[in-house]
Copies of this chain bind each other. A is one copy, B any other.
């Protein structure tokens, strides 16, 4: 078989290497993150993404079967690492639920503030509400369920009924995601200060008394350091 017939349509050529040094798939995601958040998702074509990534459009389709698949990968990247952290924290049953909730919230805010573009802003796109984004919505729902599980394990949370616990979970999860709005208004914001303050506020909403915060913060930092 000659090299020309062994090459499938759309398969990238060896010489197509993005100038960034990223692998082509990662470069497509980086370029799409920028264009989707600055020009808008609807206004961005896969052609524009391919061109900016230094790929032929056919090569882009080797990695993603269209613009929705790129958006889905970006959205999943804003929740999947947090769900992994969340699962590890759930398993650390020796630690107080309060400290684990603090750690999850701090870690989640850092993820939402990561990278040069505010990908959380894409959550609210009408286009992202369809079945095509079911995996993203499922991961986000699972992540929120862990917030609820940890909240239920806290001392004040143990006294709440199911409806009240669900509402409290919405508030703490909403507070965490609200860094998307803070970041939109103030893109230069230092993430770490915001992450720690948000995690403190999550415990305050949970009903943890002020006098316990410093200790739980230390425990939470210790848990995150142990996760590596």
Interface residues of A (CB under 8 A from B): 37-43, 121, 123-127, 129, 167-168, 170-171, 174-175, 177-182, 184, 186, 193-194, 197-198, 201, 204-205, 207, 209-210
Give this chain's copy count.
2
Bound: A177/B207 CA distance, A: 21
Which of the residues B127, B175, B205 comes within 8 Å of A174, measured between beta carbons? B175
- With CB as the reference atom, state the residue of chain B lying closest to A179: B174
**Do residues B167 and A194 form an inter-chain contact, with CB atoms below 8 A?**
yes
Centre residue among A39, A175, A186, A209 by max chain B CB count within 10 A: A175
Known A126-B38, A204-B205; judge A198-B171 contact (CB<8 A): yes
Chain B positions within 8 Å of A184 at CB level: 123-124, 129
Partner among B40, B123, B197 whose Cβ is within 8 Å of the Cβ of A126: B40
Q: Are A205 and B207 in contact (CB under 8 A)?
A: no
Residue of B nearest to A186 (CB): B170
Alpha-carbon separation in the docked complex, A175 to B39 (Å): 27
A-B contacts besides A121-B126, A124-B124, A129-B184, 5 pairs, CB < 8 Å? A37-B126, A167-B197, A174-B182, A175-B205, A204-B205
**A74–chain B nearest beta-carbon distance, Å:** 14
Closest 5 CB pairs of A and B: A174-B178, A42-B42, A178-B178, A121-B124, A201-B205
Specify which of B42, B171, B207 is in contact with A197 (CB 8 Å cutoff). B171
Distance of A198 Cα from B167 Cα, bound (Å): 9
Choose among B40, B126, B127, B194 the residue that contacts A127 (Cβ–Cβ < 8 A): B40
Residues in B whose Cβ lies below 8 Å from that of A168: 197
Q: How far is the CA of A101 from the CA of B129 in the complex (A)?
A: 34
Residues of B within 8 A of A210 (CB): 207, 209
The residue from B40, B123, B201 contacting A181, defined by CB atoms under 8 A apart: B123
- Docked pose: A175 CA to B126 CA in angstroms: 22
Contacts of A123 in B (CB 8 A): 181, 184
